[in-house]
Homo-oligomer: A and B are copies of this chain.
Amino acid sequence: MTTVSANTPDAVAPEELQKIHAWWRAANYLNVGQIYLKANPLLKEKLSVDHIKPRLLGHWGTSPGLNLVYVHMNRLIRKYDLDAIYMAGPGHGGPAIIANVWLEGSYSEFYPQISQDEAGMLKLFRQFSTPGGIPSHVSVPTPGSIHEGGELGYVLMHAAGAVMDNPELLVTAVVGDGESETGPLAGSWKSIDFINPVRDGAVLPILHLNGYKISGPTVWARHSDADLRQFFEGQGYAPRFVEGDEPMAVHQAFAVAMEQAVLDIRAIQQTARRDGFDQRPRWPLIVLRTPKGWTGPRIVDGLQVEGTFRAHQVPVADILTKPEHLHILEDWMRSYKPEELFDAQGRFRAEYAELAPAGPRRMSANPQANGGLLTRDLNLPDYADFQVRFEQRARERVESTRVFGTWLREIYRENPDNFRLFCPDETNSNRLGAVFEVTDRCLVSAIEPNDDHVSHDGRVMEVLSEHCCHGWLEGYNLTGRHGLFATYEAFAMIIDSMAMQHAKWIEHSERVPWRAPIPSMNYLLTSTCWRNDHNGFSHQGPGFIDTIIHRKPAVARVYLPPDANCLLSVGDHCFRSRNYLNLIVIDKQPQLQWLTMDEARTHCAKGAGIWEMYSHAPEQPDIVLACAGDIPTQETIAAAWLLRQYAPELKVRVVNVVDLMRLCPSDRHPHGMSDAEFTDLFSTNTPVLFTFHGYPGVIHDLLHGRDAHDQFHVRGYLEEGTTTTPFDMVVLNRISRLHLCLDVLRYVPSLLAKAPELAVYCKSMLEQHESYIREHFDDLPEIKQWVWSD
């Protein structure tokens, strides 16, 4: 299959090029205005210090390039009726995108107070980088944007995720040469190994090389075009280079390069959709080398500014104190000839405004960039059909995530273009392999005979990059589709900052009325700290829970289902939700099953409850054994069982917590229990021995503000780990059933007299464990065989 289209586009006619140039000048002008002006927006008066903002903030350097891409995309959207959106990777690109959005009219539609006239232009200028205004990054309030430009490195991932199962969508992704240095960006060029030209849309990457970061040169700006060509060709792209600093020449070259890229993309897609394809297409990519701060001041105070790092932020500062700087600014702004661009009322002249596409074809008004509008509910099969059934609870061990996998399989079946699983090569390892009965791993490059469920059409997204998995799913969510990110617990911390930034996006979006809620970001963490036998210490880290609980209560949800039926119930809730980060933590190893489906449903709906079948304290207990997480639940129930053997008269209550946020006071989290509910559950003045899956501090953090906090004694992962058995892990971190019983003796001192043999038993078993494990490399048979009988 050829990936170069037969036709080379014609040169753009001079009059059209002039109009493009006019739009670009207008956008540049509006950029400068945002940085500098608090009055006199159309420069009707001679510029004076009274027109200048007291505090000059903003970043000019990247803007002319972003504006160039915008106007040329608009030309092609109109010419080819493209369904396209724009992602601005470079940091501080906010004012550029805002300028174009205002020029094409959508900004005033979303924000009527920022009208398309002189008064609106002034407000546009004044709101930038001011309190209550808008930041210098592309962000949530920016129409047409689903990519925040604050933390760099994710633009290609977001773009790739957005086009998956979105065959008509084209995402123009501008990549800054600064952000290109980040690991996540470098690792995301490979996204094209996972983009299927038949069923997915396309990403057009535009690498914008303007040479400098804040003050240093970028690595790539010092690589030759030949090197860059090799780099991109080696990854499967067909790069084209556009370079220059003479605007009209660059317009012409860039127009042709962009049009050629669009034609190539169309050819790739049309051919593949007609004939199928047998190898990864060679997608176009554009390298655009233009000066940093292009068309800005060339020289200020004797130093070159345009084309250097000095153009990064405010290229000419100290306007209020240096008259010559005011002149430079005025000359600069007037160089765009605003009087030619805007009429006396400040309206963008019709002959240029007509370059904008119509209605929702405008990138700023495309519903793909407000994905909640496009969100369809998942078609969710009844999870009860996949339940674990048992004669007697806690007899058999079942891999809970394997059960969950059978439900995921049916979700895939029922939602062929609206759901994907993203997994760093661990779908099988995480026991979710049932999905391969319905679909394959996706790989668009060569498939070999020994490959197991790998195909071009596969829709399980496996790549050994937590960053790509998370970023792709963000893009998929932000365009209105659903998914699940499943990974080893410890390695979720790799995307801590991505989770934080995505949480901030959702938090912010709830304050932007026109943003429709999007599907939640769902995390399933397996292979947890308690069962990483041979992997050892590096794989033992439950810290992602900490990351999630510190997000705003409106978006943060954490679930610790103790068994398969609870996992199904929790999963169903998460897949139906919007605008949350849902974290689900459960191990993949065979584990005891506690609740029937009906019990699980009721328990999960409450989020936390007394497990009567393991409690023997109808009213006031002597001790509450509380637990959250699968292994803590197992050890807690075992401790309750031991206590019943050795101290039958001890009144023990067992409480299990699935929805961690239920522990919060109700004024701190929407899921927080009322004080009355809390007291009903945990009693008053009774010691609570709380065994937790993660770091104990998390529970103290959540409980803060509860009157009953002092009665809680929390056990959890103490950062003790090594290569060892599951039981040895709970011993090392002192949450074993034996430790818990010894703790109960500590907190209920009267028990010692009632059950003198309990302490002896527990200590003896711990000693036996220690010597047995050294000899047999395995857990004590008594521990291994232990099964609850109710």
The interface of chain A, by Cβ under 8 A from chain B, is 53-55, 57-58, 126, 129-137, 139, 148-153, 178-179, 181-190, 193, 213-219, 222-223, 227-236, 304, 307-309, 425-429, 441, 443, 445-448, 450-452, 454, 462-468, 490-491, 493-494, 496-497, 500-501, 504, 507-508, 533-539, 541, 543, 546-547, 549-552, 695, 697, 700-701, 704, 710, 719, 722-725, 728, 773-774, 776-778
Contacts and interface: CB of A to CB of B under 8 A. Distances in A.
Nearest to A126: B777
Nearest to A303: B450
Nearest to A154: B183
A314 to B, nearest CB: 10
A465 to B, nearest CB: 5
Contacts of A443: 216-217, 219, 222
Contacts of A468: 181, 183
B504 A493 contact: no
A227 to B, nearest CB: 5
Q: How many copies make up the complex? A: 2
Nearest to A720: B552
Given A193-B219, A493-B497, A536 B135 contact: yes
Contacts of A719: 507, 550-552
A214 B428 contact: yes
A480 B427 CA distance: 40
Contact of A777 (B58, B131, B452, B776): B131
Nearest to A218: B464
Contacts of A723: 129-136
A176 to B, nearest CB: 9
20 contacts: A131-B724, A131-B725, A132-B773, A133-B723, A135-B535, A181-B464, A182-B464, A186-B187, A186-B190, A215-B428, A217-B451, A219-B463, A222-B445, A223-B236, A229-B234, A232-B234, A233-B234, A508-B537, A546-B550, A700-B704
Contacts of A700: 700-701, 704
A187 B190 contact: no
Query: Per DSSP, are chain A's interface residues mostly helix, strand or loop, or mixed?
Result: loop
A536 B508 CA distance: 11
A200 to B, nearest CB: 17
Contact of A136 (B463, B490, B536): B536
Contacts of A183: 153, 182-188, 465, 467-468
A465 B777 contact: no
Contacts of A229: 234
Given A53-B777, A137-B535, A490-B497, 4 more contacts: A183-B465, A186-B190, A227-B236, A494-B497
Contacts of A218: 464
B54 A778 contact: yes
A734 to B, nearest CB: 14
B728 A463 contact: no
Q: Which of A57, A152, A215 has the most CB of B within 10 A?
A: A215
Contacts of A216: 425, 441, 443, 451-452, 454, 462
Given A182-B464, A193-B219, A425-B214, A139 B234 contact: no
B538 A543 contact: no
B543 A222 contact: no
A784 to B, nearest CB: 11
A697 B547 CA distance: 12
A452 B504 CA distance: 35
A777 B54 contact: yes
B426 A214 contact: yes
Nearest to A54: B778
Contacts of A463: 181, 219
Contacts of A234: 223, 227-234
A149 B53 CA distance: 53
A531 B446 CA distance: 50
Nearest to A701: B697
A509 B307 CA distance: 49
Given A150-B539, A188-B183, A536-B150, A135 B451 contact: no
Contacts of A137: 535-536, 538
Given A187-B187, A216-B441, A228-B234, A543 B450 contact: no
Contacts of A500: 493, 541, 543
Interchain residue pairs A-B with the least CB separation, the first 10:
A150-B538, A231-B234, A135-B536, A183-B187, A230-B234, A697-B701, A186-B187, A493-B497, A130-B777, A181-B464
B187 A184 contact: yes
Contacts of A538: 135, 137, 139, 148-151, 501, 504
A151 B538 CA distance: 7
A496 B549 CA distance: 16
Nearest to A444: B222
Interface centre among A133, A213, A465 (most CB of B within 10 A): A465
Interface-centre pick from A151, A189, A307, A464 (highest chain B CB count, 10 A):
A464
B222 A550 contact: no
Contacts of A710: 710
Nearest to A183: B187
Nearest to A152: B464
A185 B190 CA distance: 13
B543 A496 contact: yes
Contacts of A148: 538
A37 to B, nearest CB: 13
A446 B213 CA distance: 16
Contacts of A139: 536-538
Given A136-B535, A538-B148, A552-B719, A464 B697 contact: no
B504 A55 contact: no
Contact of A235 (B132, B227, B501, B695): B227
Most buried by B among A153, A443, A695, A719: A719
Given A132-B773, A185-B187, A234-B234, A534 B58 contact: yes
A387 to B, nearest CB: 27
Contacts of A136: 534-536, 723
A232 B496 CA distance: 30
Contacts of A774: 131-132
Contacts of A55: 777-778
Contact of A213 (B126, B425, B547, B549): B425
B452 A135 contact: no
Contacts of A543: 496, 500, 547, 550
A215 B425 contact: yes
Residue with the highest number of chain B CB atoms closer than 10 Å, among A230, A695, A774, A776: A230
Contacts of A182: 183, 187, 464-467
A508 B308 CA distance: 47
Given A546-B550, A719-B550, A533 B697 contact: no
A450 B508 contact: no
A727 to B, nearest CB: 9
A89 to B, nearest CB: 12
A579 to B, nearest CB: 15
Nearest to A721: B504
Contacts of A466: 182
Contacts of A219: 190, 193, 443, 445, 463
B446 A695 contact: no
A233 to B, nearest CB: 5
A445 B701 contact: no
